[in-house]
Amino acid sequence: MEHETTLLVESLLVADRLAAEVIVKGLTQEISPIRIIENVIVPALEHIGKGWEDGSVALSQVYMGGRICEKMVDGLLPPGAPDRKGQPCMALCVLKDHHLLGKQIVYSLLRAAGFELSDYGNISVEEVVERVKKDQIKVLLISVLMLPSALKIKEVRSKILDMGLDVQIVVGGAPFRFDSKLWRAVGADAMCTTASGVVPVIEQIMEVSHGQ
Amino acid sequence: MGNRHMTSLERVLITLGHQEPDRVPLFLLLTMHGAKELGVSIESYFSQGEHVAEGQLKLLEKYGHDCIYNFYHAPLEVEAWGAEVIYCEDGPPNSGIPVIQNIQDIQTLEAPRIEACTCLEKVLTSARLLKETLQDQVPIIGVVMSPFSLPVMQLGFNRYIELIYESPHLFQRLMDINTRFCVDWANAQLDAGSTAICYFDPVSSSTIIPRELYLKTGFKVATNTIAQIKGPTATHLASGRGVSIVDDLSKTGTAIMGSSSLEDLSEVKAACRKKLTVLGDLNGIGMCGWTPEQAEDEVKKAIAAAGPGGGFILSDNHGEIPYQVPDEVLLAISRAVRRWGQYPLDWVPSP
């Protein structure tokens, strides 16, 4: 399905929703929704993510591509569909940072990959820790633009440890791109340079937890 | 250039002419550090033009760099449009809920008048005070958000991207309104004493939108806006990539391009040679953890990459040095540019 993936990438890069829908609709005659997602949509988003990483694709293209795919996947796998990936229990937030674009992109891309997750929005350290405990979150994704927000992750890690919770913290955003050591310094378990890079990180976390 | 003492303004003007002055000019684009100098909170510091003028003068004396940066923070402009500014203790303020809640409101949106905005008046006050003190010794840099980038705060980033792609008429109307505001705001700062205007335009960078889209949008907006600003301008992409649009940027009428540390500085310099002066590209986030020795190394690397031939101003890559950067690092940068930035740069190997 490389050809379809290539065509989908081309349509997503110019935010041509109709062309993208035609490609995906054509595939639904032949293969199951989950295979379309795994074999065409996710590879297309990964391709765009790699382009973002090497500078050949712009953020607006990543955002529009993710948004178009999220809506198509909602059509293929409605929320609550049995093939939706409900595990691990995940939440996504920004920490007192009013720059929400990165969070939106990650949310769209994970949903486009068939995952379900909670969107906590813009939240304080105290609030996020409480909600993580209450919702029994296993993976907390934190998107960051401003440096002070990145530094707040250290407080989140500390409070999660104090409460004895087993939570993986996955971070991403501009400060981590400009300082490759920062994610470890703030106590994160993983850092993603692209939104599509979150998918393999989640899958790896699932493999480890299943192996235990 | 002989041994005659050169003022900062002379140094900068010569480098803008793509010639070598006495040494590489240094722009420490410090905003919040002024609050540290005055021993007040960031919110208190930015509440009065007098504070910012005093803070900038103290920073100039302490670090001996080559500009005054009369920039408060990005949300200041949307405060003029009615948005809330949310301060924090250790970083630049955020803008609150976007002022344009429904994109259809753009149809009836009107730009605020500069003279009616107390938040903007503070900036004009500090510009006047700084000009009175410094006259033409040191360039005073005023700042505007470009009409093309302001909507990130007016609408929120995601809705703005959707507007660009999906609502061309509303997009154009917003650009028209924002351009009027931006031109008035830039010219008010020039009238108050600013020497030049930094045109912050991160959305135009190829990190944020592809070049094809930039040529249809941000490029046209910048060309139209910059032509109406009655003074020199520098375009800053705020850490975004720009090497692929250097030729386009030079056609907008700007004189300087802020360079990102994500790009190879020598490549940026080669692309800009004789067209644009390069401003950059010390990694502001990285600076937070540098030792003084690292700071010196980074200054040397930047000067070796972009210093020869003039047309280069050493600076950070974002246009706002993080509050967390220690004074000793800034002092080390200042010392290093004096040690390694003297022209001719005999220690730099020929390409």
Per-residue pLDDT tens digits for A39-73 = 999 999 999 989 988 999 999 999 999 999 999 99
Residue B29 DSSP one-character state: -
> In chain B, which residues have their Cβ closer than 8 Å to the Cβ of A152?
none
Residue type present at position B226: I
| Other residues' Cβ atoms within 10 Å of the Cβ of residue B60 | 22
Q: Are residues A112 and A139 in the same domain?
A: yes
> In chain A, which residues have their Cβ closer than 8 Å to the Cβ of B210?
13, 57-58, 60-61
In a domain? residue A53? yes
In a domain? residue A84? no
Tell whether the model's pLDDT for residue A206 goes beyond 90.
no
Nearest CA to CA, how far is A158 from chain B (Å)?
Answer: 20
> With 0-12 CB in 10 A as exposed, 13-18 as middle and 19+ as buried, what is A56?
middle
- DSSP assignment of chain A: -HHHHHHHHHHHHTT-HHHHHHHHHHHHTTS-HHHHIIIIIHHHHHHHHHHHHHTSS-HHHHHHHHHHHHHHHHHHS-TT-TTSB--S-EEEEEES----HHHHHHHHHHHHTTB--EEEEEE-HHHHHHHHHHTT-SEEEEEE-SHHHHHHHHHHHHHHHHTT---EEEEEEHHHHH-TTHHHHTT-SEE-SSSTTHHHHHHHHHHHHHH-
Q: Are residues A154 and A104 in the same domain?
A: yes
Chain A: residue whose CA lies nearest to B211? A58
- Joined tokens for residue B112: 């605020």
β B68-69/B140-145 pair status: parallel
Chain A: residue whose CA lies nearest to B262? A178
Chain A: residue whose CA lies nearest to B289? A179
Q: Tell whether B239 lies on the interface with A, counting CB pairs under 8 A.
A: yes
Nearest CA to CA, how far is B131 from chain A (Å)?
Answer: 32
Q: How far apart are CA A108 and CA A62, in angstroms?
A: 10
pLDDT more than 90, % of chain B = 97
Map residue B199 onto helix, strand or coil. Answer: strand
Residues β-bridged to residue B342: B23
Q: Are residues A8 and A104 in the same domain?
A: no
In a domain? residue A112? yes
Per-residue pLDDT tens digits for B259-278 = 999 999 999 999 999 999 99
Q: How far apart are CA B92 and CA B325, in angstroms?
A: 13
Q: Are residues A70 and A94 in the same domain?
A: no
Per-residue pLDDT tens digits for B81-125 = 999 999 999 999 999 899 999 999 999 999 999 999 999 999 999
In a domain? residue A133? yes
Q: How far apart are CA B98 and CA B82, in angstroms?
A: 9
Q: Are residues A63 and A96 in the same domain?
A: no
Per-residue pLDDT tens digits for B29-44 = 999 999 999 999 999 9
Q: Tell whether B322 lies on the interface with A, counting CB pairs under 8 A.
A: yes
- DSSP assignment of B218-250: HHHHHHHHHHHSSS-EEEE-TT---GGGHHHHH
Last residue of a domain, one of A49, A76, A103: A76
Average pLDDT over residues B330-341: 98
Please name the residues between 50 and 89 in chain B that touch chain A, using a CB distance below 8 Å: 86, 88
Residue type present at position B190: L
pLDDT at B211: 97
Map residue B257 onto helix, strand or coil. Answer: strand
Chain A: residue whose CA lies nearest to B98? A98
Tell whether the model's pLDDT for residue A212 goes beyond 60.
no
pLDDT at B1: 46
Contact yes or no for B239 and A178 at CB 8 A: yes
Q: How far apart are CA B39 and CA B19, in angstroms?
A: 40
- The total domain count for chain A is 2
Q: Are residues A170 and A206 in the same domain?
A: yes
Per-residue pLDDT tens digits for B164-204 = 999 999 999 999 999 999 999 999 999 999 999 999 999 99
Helix axes B168-192, B157-166, angle to 10 degrees: 120
Residues β-bridged to residue B257: B235, B278
Q: How far apart are CA B103 and CA B105, in angstroms?
A: 5
Nearest Cα residue to A89 out of A140, A165, A124, A131: A140
Q: Are residues A123 and A43 in the same domain?
A: no
In a domain? residue A85? no
- Locus of tokens 């802020």: B258
pLDDT band at A211 (very low <50, low <70, confident <90, very high): low
User: How far from B53 is each of B44, B67, B115, B124, CA to CA, in Å?
Assistant: 13, 13, 20, 10
In a domain? residue A41? yes
pLDDT at A58: 96
Residue type present at position B317: N
Q: Are residues A105 and A71 in the same domain?
A: no
pLDDT at B251: 98
Q: How far apart are CA A15 and CA A166, in angstroms?
A: 39
Average pLDDT over residues B278-299: 97
* Averaged pLDDT of chain A: 91
User: How far from B280 is each of B3, B108, B343, CA to CA, in Å?
Assistant: 27, 40, 18
**Contact at 8 Å (CB) between A118 and A206?**
no
- Residues 6 or more apart whose CB falls under 8 angstroms from that of B224 comprise B179
A17-52 residues labelled b (16+ CB within 10 A) or e (exposed): bebbeebbeebeeeeebbebbebbbbbbbbbbbebb
- Joined tokens for residue A129: 């820790």
> In chain A, which residues have their Cβ closer than 8 Å to the Cβ of B207?
55, 58-59
Which among B88, B158, B286 is the nearest to A101, CB-wise?
B158
pLDDT band at A14 (very low <50, low <70, confident <90, very high): very high
Which among B96, B165, B289 is the nearest to A15, CB-wise?
B165
* Averaged pLDDT of chain B: 96
Contact yes or no for A99 and B94 at CB 8 A: yes
Listed in order, strand segments (DSSP E) in B168-224 are 196-200
Q: Are residues A142 and A46 in the same domain?
A: no
Q: Are residues A207 and A110 in the same domain?
A: yes
pLDDT at B4: 65
Q: Which of A9, A97, A98 to mutate to test the interface with B (most CBs of B within 10 A)?
A: A98
Q: Are residues A65 and A155 in the same domain?
A: no
- Residues 6 or more apart whose CB falls under 8 angstroms from that of B134 comprise B68, B140
Q: Tell whether A180 lies on the interface with B, counting CB pairs under 8 A.
A: no
- Residues 6 or more apart whose CB falls under 8 angstroms from that of B168 comprise none
pLDDT at B263: 95
Map residue B187 onto helix, strand or coil. Answer: helix
Q: Tell whether B324 lies on the interface with A, counting CB pairs under 8 A.
A: yes
pLDDT at B122: 98
Asked whether the bond before A88 is cis by omega within 30 degrees of 0, the reply is yes
Strand arrangement of the beta sheet that strand B68-69 belongs to: B68-69, B140-145, B196-200, B233-236, B256-258, B277-282, B312-316
Q: Are residues A106 and A197 in the same domain?
A: yes
- Residues 6 or more apart whose CB falls under 8 angstroms from that of B345 comprise B303, B304, B307, B308
Last residue of a domain, one of A53, A76, A99: A76
β A168-173/B85-86 pair status: unpaired
**Is CATH 3.60.21.10 what the domain over B8-338 is classified as, yes or no?**
no
Q: How far apart are CA B78 and CA B95, in angstroms?
A: 7
pLDDT band at A208 (very low <50, low <70, confident <90, very high): confident
In a domain? residue A60? yes
In a domain? residue A83? no
Last residue of a domain, one of A76, A98, A129: A76
Tell whether the model's pLDDT for residue B333 goes beyond 90.
yes
Can you give the residue range of the structural domain that contains A54?
Answer: 2-76
Backbone angles phi, psi at A66, to 5 degrees: -65, -40
- Reported ipTM: the value is 0.94
* Whole-structure pTM value: 0.93
Per-residue pLDDT tens digits for B3-29 = 568 999 999 999 999 999 999 999 999
Q: Tell whether A96 lies on the interface with B, counting CB pairs under 8 A.
A: yes
- Joined tokens for residue B240: 């975004």
**Contact at 8 Å (CB) between B74 and B20?**
no
